[in-house]
Chain A
Amino acid sequence: MLKAKHVDRLMTGLMIGSAMIMAGILIFLLGIILLRGASHISLSFLTSNSSSFQAGGGIKNQLWNSFYLLVLTMVFTVPIGLLGGIYFAEYAKDNKWTSFLRSCVELLASLPSIIVGMFGMLLFVNVFGWGFSILSGALTLTIFNMPVMIQVSEAALRAIPNHQRHGSAALGATRWQTVKTVLLPAAFPALLTGMILSAGRVFGESAALIFTAGLTTPNLHFRQWHLFAMDSPFNPMRTAETLSVHIWAVNTVGIIPDAAQVAAGASAVLVLVILLFNLSARIIGRMIERGIKGN
């Protein structure tokens, strides 16, 4: 019996140890990213054009591209994801067709992002002839992000107790009226949280973008209001290297001498933005929930 106790103590130690190692890895990673980045982040780093062969380039355009691409992607993803989630949670019958549809969503959700990027390159860049552009990139990211949004929306709707649906039906509402006036407001906190978390995923994505949005960006002029000018920040048909693609590009295909510093600064900005997304998802979710319960 003594032996079993020893083994138990040893294994308990190992389990605590693995959790410690995981926490340690995170602290180590965040520490390195933020400490190294902090020395390189400055106002001029954030607000100057990137350089293609000299030292001292900034990340202004890449940062803008990341946010613009994110907004466009969410504009496409949110309605599709929401309607898809509504379909699976409220409309779909339990039959072969639904299970086939579910397999399609699971397939899209689990494909490697580079595969989605290659498909985006074939369809949007080549067949549709949009070239390396923000539009190609945003639609590719939509294919990549849509399944997650569908799954999040479905889970949020399914978490609403059935008596709310019954109550709505008893008042004579149709199914769509129930969805619109009862279920969506009730699911709003969970939907918003899921949306912000998936936005973080889109913001950091790179493999799907190198073949669709390109590895270069024109120097943008923020007073250029002609939408389809090459240096217009809002032009959806121009190439757009994002922040995460920039980190990869300066380290592998770029030739600037200060690649490590630029990448360190860009990594810190990228991680800070994503941490901010995660934090605000938590806080907003909690705040809205408290607000609803308070009423």
Chain B
Amino acid sequence: MYLSYLLPPLAIAGLATALAIIILLAERYLMDYGEVELKVNDKLYKVKGGSTVLSTLKQEKIFIPSACGGRATCAYCKVTAVKGFGEVLPTEAPLLTKEDLTKNVRLACQIKVKNNCEIRIPDELFSIREFRARVDSITDLTYDIKHFIFRLLSPPEIEYKPGQYIQFQSQPYGDVSDSVYRAYSMCGLASERNQVELMVRLVPEGICTTYMFKHLKAGNEVIITGPYGDFYLRDSNRRMVCIAGGSGMAPIRAILLAMTPEEIARRRPIFFFGARSRKDLFLVDEWREFEARHPAFKFVPALSGPEPDDDWTGATGRITDVVAQFVPDAKDCEGYLCGSPGMLNACVEILCKLGVDEEQIYYDKFA
């Protein structure tokens, strides 16, 4: 009698177990690639085969930039596959340009290390490290932007060029069971090597920013990797036109704070900061102070839609119009931009129109 109740669950359990054993055996014997040699630039690594290039390299403490966590959507993890990787996979194809295809550039999160193979990566990626850090402080800059300071624990110091970014790893919380990596520019003084400062805007429904805003507390330990990116100050005598919106202020602040008084006098930076209304503005006092210390520097906050009670007397209108008004002739200028893709594209267009060589516009686009 009891048998008739037990039989159905037992039958399903038995079937599931049998199939699980088949899968495990297949994994054991089919997916075992043994130890293989992976050549990265000129260094040879002995690694366990079977995983993606991205995760294999991570195990060897080489960190390739990646924002989507291996889902083939961000296309940050491009590497040059020299040999041993077969044909382009349909998951990669939409993210590779024609130039990528001719140069054998592939996505490290999709291609797998199965036999002896060779890749090339930019040399600076070797200097990327994984850091354990502790949250030192979290302060509000605006209603949706916070300033985070992390104290590095191990390794204790980071060396980076002002303007570069790190990747922050979020931890699972609530319904979110994955931990994801997201990129944030460092905004502090590069000479303070024992800490990392970030400005982060809360993205509605964003996995990582929700974690940072709602769950992260002072004293928590976090994992960050870096430094990444090619957005940093180029050496020249040209005047600097910096344009940022929202948390895009971060890398511009890092760049400007790191400049010597002589450099500022020579490069005469002008910093346009775009916001919608007064409640989106922050650190204005700090920039006014910076202005007072360096007569050659100018800070121009511009509001695109000031509220009636904002009592705003500064520049108003679209950031591109404000730039054109303050820098009518920009032939001897160099652009440093950070913000949303829409804003950046518009700013690149206006700067080119004002006479800046497109080659001399450097930018950091929000992904």
Do A and B pair up? The answer is no
Question: Interface on B for A, CB 8 Å cutoff?
Answer: none
